[in-house]
């Protein structure tokens, strides 16, 4: 199950991206992923997390980085969330 919170969800048609911005928190099957921004690139079909990225795993282990390319399972969950917000993914 996916839970997501953010300050804004932006359909950036100029750059062909959908961006979740501002203190983004994704909770997914016991893991918590935090970042300044998540971006789904419609052209490459990739989901990235950028800026102050922190992953807390279910066992409590914490990893930090500035940039993270996310796996297909989380990408699919994010895309489904965006579609529920009535933002088109396929252009």
pLDDT in tens, 24-46: 999 999 999 999 999 999 999 99
Asked if residue 80 lies in contact with residue 87, where contact means CB atoms within 8 angstroms, the answer is: no
Q: Distance from CA of residue 26 to its chain's centroid?
A: 7
Question: How does residue 91 score in pLDDT terms, banded at 50, 70 and 90?
Answer: low
DSSP structure class, residue 1: -
Work out the end-to-end distance of the chain between its first and last CA atoms, rounded to an integer number of angstroms.
26
User: In the predicted model, what is the mean pLDDT of the chain?
Assistant: 93
Residue 4 has what pLDDT?
Answer: 94
Examine the pLDDT at 20 and tell me if it is beyond 90: yes
- For residue 61, the model assigns a pLDDT of 97
Contact between 75 and 83 under an 8 Å Cβ cutoff? The reply is no
């Amino acid at each position: 199950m996916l839970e997501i919170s953010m300050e804004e969800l932006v359909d950036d048609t100029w750059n062909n991206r959908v961006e979740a911005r501002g203190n983004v928190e994704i909770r997914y099957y016991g893991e918590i992923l935090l970042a300044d921004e998540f971006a789904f690139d419609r052209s490459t079909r990739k989901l990235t997390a950028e800026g102050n990225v922190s992953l807390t795993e279910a066992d409590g282990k914490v990893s930090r980085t500035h940039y993270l390319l996310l796996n297909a399972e989380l990408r699919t969950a994010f895309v489904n969330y965006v579609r529920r917000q009535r933002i088109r993914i396929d252009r």
